[in-house]
């Protein structure tokens, strides 16, 4: 798939100029992953228009594509990604109604199990935030807004929803790749010397020899400076997702596991 445009998407459910949806665009050329540009989309409408970009492209999106099976079954939401997200929006037509439903269900659960995880969440040493979390890191709201738009746009969600085979989405998780590169060091959300050093270490590791991934990141000095210098880490997270998309592009069947729950989804290997 070296002729396919690649994208890494750092998503937010409430984009603005201060906190946009950030998209890293690039392509594979032999043993190099060339970062071409980083886009900033400050509205969900702009994101919808970007999703309509003609393919071929493969994007790794930093939000959950599925919900924990135990929650889906408890509410009989459906058996496919499209059925579940449609049922969620039909039953809970606003974000706050969705949050209230999760809270009400969680209050019936045993202590410590109000926000269960998906099987794919446990596939590495870094446990993601539950797809039902709607506060703090509100990935439950990102699911609510993001998956709806993926399905509506007609893209293929690999292994979960058939659509345009020239526009393919996989779920990304940048922290999983960052952990593989710098272990548990914090690298974003604060403008501190140690976090800048951690961002520098991540970029340097991605630029190093191809190694197991089979490619190294290549980028212009100005883009490099922006990845290291941005304290939020959003641009760097988009690039980490781009690397995950490129990794999928080089794997048989895009790295799709032999077995996984199509309601919960899967997260590519680092």
Spatial separation of the C-alpha atoms in residues 19 and 120, rounded to whole Å:
28
| Sequence-separated (6 or more) residues with CB below 8 Å from residue 109 | 116
Q: Which helix (H) or strand (E) holds 197?
A: helix 193-207
Does residue 122 register a pLDDT over 90? no
Radius of gyration of the chain (CA): 18
pLDDT at 210: 81
Whether 1 has a pLDDT exceeding 70, the answer reads no
Cis peptide before 182 (omega within 30 of 0): no
pLDDT in tens, 25-66: 999 999 999 999 999 999 999 999 999 999 999 999 999 999
- Give the pair of three-digit tokens for residue 84: 């579940």
Please tell me the distance from the alpha carbon of residue 119 to that of residue 12, in angstroms, as a whole number: 24
Q: Return the domain boundaries, the chain.
A: 5-64+167-252, 69-145
Residues in the chain: 270
- Per-residue pLDDT of 56-111, as tens digits, reads 999 999 999 999 999 999 999 999 999 999 999 999 999 999 999 999 999 999 99
pTM here?
0.96
Strand order in the sheet with 216-218: 155-157, 164-171, 57-61, 5-10, 21-29, 32-41, 216-218
**Helices vs strands, H then E, count in the chain:** 9, 7
At residue 2 the predicted structure's pLDDT band, cuts being 50, 70 and 90, is low
Residue 190 pLDDT > 70, yes or no? yes
């Amino acid at each position: 798939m070296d002729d396919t445009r690649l994208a890494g998407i750092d998503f937010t459910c409430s984009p603005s100029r201060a906190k946009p949806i950030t998209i890293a665009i690039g392509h594979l050329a032999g043993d190099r992953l060339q970062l071409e540009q980083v886009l900033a989309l400050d509205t969900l409408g702009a994101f919808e228009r970007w999703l309509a970009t003609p393919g071929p492209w493969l994007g790794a999106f930093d939000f959950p594509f599925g919900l924990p099976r135990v929650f889906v079954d408890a509410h009989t939401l459906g058996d496919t990604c499209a059925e579940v997200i449609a049922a969620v929006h039909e039953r809970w037509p606003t974000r706050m109604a969705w949050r209230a439903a999760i809270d009400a269900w969680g209050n019936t659960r045993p202590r410590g199990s109000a926000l269960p995880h998906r099987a794919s969440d446990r596939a590495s040493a870094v446990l993601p935030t539950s797809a039902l979390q709607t506060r703090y890191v509100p990935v439950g709201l990102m699911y609510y807004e993001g998956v709806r738009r993926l399905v509506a746009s007609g893209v293929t969600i690999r292994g979960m929803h058939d659509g345009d085979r020239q526009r393919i989405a996989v779920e990304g998780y940048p922290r999983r790749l960052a952990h593989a590169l710098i272990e548990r060091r914090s690298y974003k959300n604060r403008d501190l010397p140690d976090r800048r050093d951690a961002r520098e270490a991540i970029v340097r590791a991605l630029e190093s020899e191809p190694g197991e991934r089979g490619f190294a990141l290549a980028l212009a000095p100005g883009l490099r400076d922006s990845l290291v210098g941005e304290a939020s880490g959003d641009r760097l997270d988009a690039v980490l997702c781009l690397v995950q998309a490129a990794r999928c592009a080089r794997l048989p069947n895009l790295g799709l596991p032999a077995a996984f729950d199509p309601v919960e989804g899967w997260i590519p290997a680092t």
